[in-house]
Structures are given as C-alpha cells and as structure tokens.
C-alpha cells in the first residue's frame, strides 16, 4: 500500500473514531439530548481538528503499527489528551460551560478505539500472518536487553533464519519466566542438556558486556553441543551504530584468548603525541600498522610511516587517509639497515617520538639465517637509535618480545641484544630510550593462528610442536596500546611488560580453532611434530633478576635488565658477517644470556 493511500485510510478511520467517541459519550450521559446542539457540533469539529493536528505532531500516521509497542501507546495518549483539552477550552471560552463527564468518557473511548485500531493490526499480523518458514532452532544465551531485542527482531522477520526456542540466563529471578513468549529454560550449566532436549541447531551469545573469562566459560559449554555458536558484536560497536543487534558474528579465537584491554592514560599519551611529529619504523607490519592507527587517534602534527615494503606502507597510508582525512601523513621507503638513509630521514623529519617496530620475528627462519637477524634486529636498531639520539628525539620506544628473556633462539637473542643497545643509548643520550616486551600477538604475521587456519582450510592436519607447549597471548590492538602507554611512562632505560594473565596451551588453541571452524578433531586431526630449533616450552616475560613486583600502571610492570659490556656487543656488530653461522648463533646466545666474560661493566663505558 502506498504512503498516500495508507495516510488517507488512517485519517478516515481516526475521523470516524473521534466523532463516534463524542456522540456515543453524549448519548450515554444524555439519552434524550440534542445531538445537533451548537456546543456538541463545535466541540466535535475542534476535537477532530485537534486530533489530526497532534496525530501529525506525534507522527501517528508515520509509524509502522505492526511493530507497535509502549512508545506508540504513549504517543496516542499525548495526541488524544491534548486534542480533548483543546475541545474543553473551546467549550469554556465560547459557550461558558464544560461537559466534563462527556469529555472524560470521550477521552477514554478515544484512547481505547485509536489504540485498539492500531494494535489490532499488530495482533492480526502476529497471529495470522506469521511466516510459514521456520528457521534453525536457536538458544539465546542472555535474557537481558540484548537477548530480548534479538528475539523481537527475529519474530518480526518475514523469513527468519533463526527460530528462538528459549533463553539461558544465570539470573534466578528470570528462571522459568517467558519473555516475548520465549521461555527462560535454564542457566549456563544446562546448555548441553537443553541443546539435546530441544534439538538446538544454533546458539547466540547475547551478552555484549561479557568479559573474556566469562565468554570462555560459556563457549566451552556451547562447544560440547553440535550447534553452531555465534556472538553479538562488541557493545562499543552497538553503541556507535557500526552494527545492529541482529548482526551476529562467529566466535573468534581472539574473543576467547585475548584479554580484557588495559585502560589507557589518555591524557598521558596525548601529552607526548598530540601536535608532535611521530615516526614509526616497520609501519607496514601487523604491529607497526596498528601502532599507527592508535597514534592517529591523538592528532599528531605529522605521522611518518617508515618501512621497507612499499605495498604494506601504501596499504596503511591509504587506510589512514581514508579513515582520518585531516591526519597529516607522510611516508618513507627505507631499510633500517641503511644507516646513511636513516640518519638523513631523522635529520629531515626531526621527530619528537620514534616507535621502532621494524624487526625480523620468525624464529625458525632466523635460526637458519642468523646474519639476517643481526642485520635487521641489531644493526637496524642501532642505526635508528643512534640517529634518534643525534637528532634530538625526545622518546624512543622499541618493540621487543618475551623471547628475549633467557633466549634459546637467534631471534630472541638478537632482540635481547637490541634491548642492550637501547639501554646503553639511554645512558649516554638525552633521548629517553625504553623497550616494551609482550608475548605472542594473535593474528600477527608469522603467528601460529594464520598457520592453523590455513591448515584447517586445507583439510588438516593441524601441526603442534608439543602437547605441553604454552604461550602468552594478546591482541594486536592491546599490544599496540601498551607500546603507546610505555612512551608516556618512560623515564629512560626501562623494559615495560604487560601482566599477561594465564598462559595458554598451544594444543588448546588448535582445538578451539578447529571447533570454531565447524569441525571435529576426528575430521581435522592434530599432529605433534616435535619442537623446532630455538623454541622453548615456556616463555617468560621477565627474568628472575629483572622482576619488580610493583605495577607502574594498572597491569603494567617495569623491569630493569642487568647492565652489559656494550663493547662486546659492538664488536660482534663489526664482524658478524665474517663469522660461521653456527659460531655466530652461539656468540649471539652467549652475549644475550650473559655468558661472555667481562660483562656488567656498562657504567665504565658511559
């Protein structure tokens, strides 16, 4: 039905209701009265005009009445009440009398008939126009506002893909009640039983405010069933309007293994980034690009994206220009190993802050190519650090790794030696130099998750090195925020570490990914391949002699690593290309693990 035709019908129906209300009320109170008296005719016309006026004001003719609810009833109440009040004023002003009882009965009949005519359509639609198609039998976890909104939208969908069978909620006050004709069947512990009893095909977790520990618990119960499990988007996405309440997403491993984010000291970060020139090395990488996204929120004077790969730099540049048009961005294609180029860039740009994220991070590859690890991780860091110092950079933040603690791999050893260089530079420079360590980053390039996903996509098997191997995990945004926060906390020479919570077994991660992909371990088996060169069963974040128990910021710790003889490190930098790979690998591990004689005399070097 067209809008104009629908509007005409509603106006005619409302006109009949208004006139019927007036004359029936008058007849009930005065059966023998004159129905054509001037006061009655005038009141009726004023009431009719007032009704249409206020109906238009409260948009009664624009509402979709098949979805009528309390808000629509409130609008009807206001429109009717105001129109009756105008009719009452007309009686008093023009005729000097007030038919109060007649107006009161008119008001009641008016509301009942107008409301009834609207809600009758909804009742008819819900009763006789329900779609014949029935969607998948669905269990809604959470009988709160979000769960209720989901059920309401599913019930009003002409072709629902999901058919809500029941709620699950731990609130005992809701147990066994019905919400929108959907019963609350039990609590989280009952999920397995309910899925079997009610033949559930789909589960929606409708609690957007869940913390990750609670989500893990609920998902573990859901994973015991054969139903597909999805989750409502994050509450901030719902509040910002990025998605609607019925846009479910699959549960991702990041939802289960990531930790609740650290609250940032926004003012502290803004103090050293806002209106400053900021340079990020490795800006095209997974960590570097996210650091750039986070920096962009604080309105730097200029953000310089430095990287070796032109495609990745172009990608993050275009993304930032598209999302933040007012951001002043420039790019530099350069290799951190090119000392002359790095010094030239620093001299031209004069950055206030440098975030050094460029590095080789792949453990097995660096084990086979130790000289390349030294070039990028050690020499590259030395170049960027010395260029920063020479050009008056205020704060230098280096991205490090938990593999730098008691390293057993070339990659870990080179990152530990890079930390040594940064600590040494802090002692001889006006620039504040700090390092930030964190564990494995979910979804970053070279991490285990993309590998597992690719193996699952190819039909398996999923390869895990050892059933007891465990790692710390955090999300890319969380790691990047930590890097920014470290810069605001820096006094110089620190190694900042996030409280990573409990480590996760790699085999459990593989099992979750298989389940999340819709397979069983029988369909996608897990195969243990044995530990690779350089790998450890467990990776610490701070060594025993580095731990400071007090937090410098909620969930952030500070450690100071032992001083070293920087001459030993610089001597290796001068001659590493002449070393045999095996000898170079051993030297790196000796220096990084303080096994070289004459160490711990850094103060003398200063």
Q: Is the backbone of residue 555 left (phi > 0), alpha (psi -120 to 50) or beta?
A: left
- Tens-place pLDDT, residues 449-471: 778 888 888 888 889 888 888 77
pLDDT at 503: 74
Beta carbons of 343 and 388 less than 8 angstroms apart: no
- Who contacts 6 (Cβ-Cβ below 8 Å, separation ≥6)? none
> d(Cα 473, Cα 504) in Å, to the nearest integer?
7
DSSP one-letter code for 506: H
- Whole-prediction pTM value? 0.64
* 3-state SS class at 8: helix
Query: What is the CATH code of the structural domain delimited by 266-440+473-500+540-605?
Result: 3.40.50.720
Does residue 188 or residue 6 have the better pLDDT? 188
Mean pLDDT of 532-549: 61
> d(Cα 38, Cα 537) in Å, to the nearest integer?
96
Q: Do the domains at 136-251 and 266-440+473-500+540-605 have one common CATH topology?
A: yes
Q: Any catalytic annotation for residue 403?
A: yes
Beta strands in 298-372 (DSSP E): 302-307, 329-333, 353-356
pLDDT of 1 above 60: no
Domain ranges of the chain: 3-128, 136-251, 266-440+473-500+540-605
Residues in a beta bridge with 604: none
> d(Cα 310, Cα 434) in Å, to the nearest integer?
28
pLDDT of 341 above 90: yes
pLDDT at 424: 92
- Who contacts 367 (Cβ-Cβ below 8 Å, separation ≥6)? 409, 410, 411, 532, 533, 534, 585
* 3-state SS class at 208: coil
Assigned CATH topology for domain 136-251: Rossmann fold (3.40.50)
> d(Cα 219, Cα 602) in Å, to the nearest integer?
51
pLDDT at 429: 94
Please calculate the CA angle 288-398-565 and round it to the nearest 5 degrees: 150
- Tens-place pLDDT, residues 96-151: 878 888 888 888 888 888 878 777 766 766 666 555 546 788 999 988 888 888 88
């Amino acid at each position: 039905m067209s809008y104009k035709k629908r509007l005409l019908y509603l106006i005619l129906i409302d006109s009949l209701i208004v006139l019927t209300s007036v004359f029936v009320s008058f007849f009930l109170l005065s059966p023998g009265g004159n129905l054509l008296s001037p006061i009655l005719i005038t009141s009726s016309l004023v009431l009719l005009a007032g009704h249409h006026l206020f109906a238009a004001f409260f948009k009664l003719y624009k509402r979709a009445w098949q979805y009528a609810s309390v808000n629509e009833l409130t609008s009807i109440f206001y429109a009717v009440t105001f129109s009756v009040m105008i009719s009452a004023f007309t009686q008093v002003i023009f005729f000097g009398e007030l038919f109060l009882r007649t107006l009161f009965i008119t008001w009641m009949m008016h509301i009942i008939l107008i409301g009834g005519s609207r809600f009758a359509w909804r009742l008819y639609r819900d009763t006789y126009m329900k779609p014949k198609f029935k969607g998948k039998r669905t269990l809604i976890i959470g009988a709160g506002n979000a769960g209720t909104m989901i059920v309401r939208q599913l019930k009003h969908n002409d072709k629902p893909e999901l058919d809500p069978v029941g709620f699950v909620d731990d609130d005992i006050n809701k147990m066994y009640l019905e919400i929108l004709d959907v019963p609350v069947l039990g609590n989280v512990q009952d999920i397995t039983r309910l899925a079997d009893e009610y033949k559930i095909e789909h589960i929606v977790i409708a609690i957007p405010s869940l913390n990750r520990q609670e989500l893990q618990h609920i998902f573990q119960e859901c994973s015991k069933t054969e139903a597909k499990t999805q989750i409502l988007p994050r509450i901030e996405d719902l509040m910002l309007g990025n998605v609607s309440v019925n846009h479910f997403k699959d549960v991702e491993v990041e939802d289960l293994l990531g930790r609740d984010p650290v609250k940032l000291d926004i003012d502290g970060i803004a103090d050293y980034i806002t209106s400053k020139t900021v340079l990020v090395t490795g800006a095209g990488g997974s960590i570097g690009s996210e650091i750039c996204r986070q920096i962009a929120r604080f309105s730097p004077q200029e953000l310089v994206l430095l990287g070796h790969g032109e495609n990745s730099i172009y990608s993050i540049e275009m993304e930032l220009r598209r999302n933040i048009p007012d951001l002043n961005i420039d790019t530099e294609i350069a290799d951190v190993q090119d000392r002359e180029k790095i010094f030239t860039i620093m001299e031209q740009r004069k950055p206030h802050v440098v975030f050094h994220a460029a590095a080789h991070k792949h453990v097995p590859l660096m084990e086979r190519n130790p000289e390349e690890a030294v070039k990028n991780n050690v020499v590259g860091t030395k170049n960027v650090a010395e260029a920063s110092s020479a050009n008056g950079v205020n704060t230098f933040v280096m991205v490090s790794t938990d593999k730098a603690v008691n390293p057993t791999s070339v990659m870990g050893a080179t990152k530990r030696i890079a930390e040594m260089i940064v600590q040494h530079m802090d002692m001889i420079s006006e620039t504040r130099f700090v390092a930030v360590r964190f564990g494995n980053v979910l979804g970053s390039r070279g991490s285990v998750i993309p590998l597992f996903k690719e193996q699952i996509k190819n039909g398996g098997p999923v390869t895990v090195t050892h059933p007891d191997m465990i790692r710390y995990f955090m999300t890319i945004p969380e790691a990047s925020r930590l890097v920014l926060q470290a810069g605001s906390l820096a006094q110089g020479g620190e190694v900042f570490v996030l409280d990573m919570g409990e480590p996760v077994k790699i085999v459990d991660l593989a099992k979750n990914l298989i389940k999340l992909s819709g397979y069983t371990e029988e369909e996608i088996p897990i195969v243990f391949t044995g530990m690779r060169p350089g790998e450890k069963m467990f990776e610490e974040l701070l060594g025993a002699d580095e731990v400071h128990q007090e937090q410098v910021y909620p969930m952030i710790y500070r450690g100071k690593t032992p001083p070293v003889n920087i001459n030993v490190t610089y001597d290796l930098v001068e001659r590493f290309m002449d070393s045999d790979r095996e000898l170079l690998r051993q030297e790196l591990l000796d220096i990084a693990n303080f096994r070289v004689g004459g160490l711990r005399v850094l103060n003398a070097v200063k």
